[in-house]
Chains A and B, each alone.
Chain A
Amino acid sequence: KNEVEQSPQNLTAQEGEFITINCSYSVGISALHWLQQHPGGGIVSLFMLSSGKKKHGRLIATINIQEKHSSLHITASHPRDSAVYICAASTAGGGGSQGNLIFGKGTKLSVKP
Chain B
Amino acid sequence: GAGVSQSPRYKVAKRGQDVALRCDPISGHVSLFWYQQALGQGPEFLTYFQNEAQLDKSGLPSDRFFAERPEGSVSTLKIQRTQQEDSAVYLCASSLKQGLAKNIQYFGAGTRLSVL
Determine if A41 and B91 form an interchain contact, defined as CB atoms under 8 angstroms apart.
yes
Residues of A within 8 A of B (CB): 4, 30-31, 33, 35, 40-45, 48, 50, 86, 88, 90-93, 97-106
Which 4 pairs between the two chains have the least Cβ-Cβ distance? A103-B42, A98-B99, A43-B107, A41-B110
A104 vs B106: C-alpha distance in the bound complex, in angstroms?
A: 18
**Inter-chain contacts of A44 with B (CB < 8 A):** 107
Cross-chain contact A98 with B56 (CB below 8 angstroms): yes
CB-based A-B contact count at 8 angstroms: 79
Pair A93/B45 contact, Cβ less than 8 Å: no
A-contacting residues of B (Cβ < 8 Å)? 33, 35, 37, 40-45, 48, 50, 55-56, 89, 91, 93, 98-110, 112
Q: Which of B91, B104, B105 has the most CB of A within 10 A?
A: B105
Q: Which residues of A contact B102 (CB under 8 A)?
A: 30-31, 48, 50, 90
Alpha-carbon gap, A30 to B100, bound state (A)? 8
| Majority-rule SS of A interface residues | strand
Query: Which chain A residues border B37 with CB–CB below 8 Å?
Result: 41
Report the Cα distance A91→B35, complex, angstroms.
16
B107 touches A42 (CB 8 A): yes
A104-B42 contact given A41-B89, A41-B91, CB 8 Å threshold: yes
B101 touches A42 (CB 8 A): no
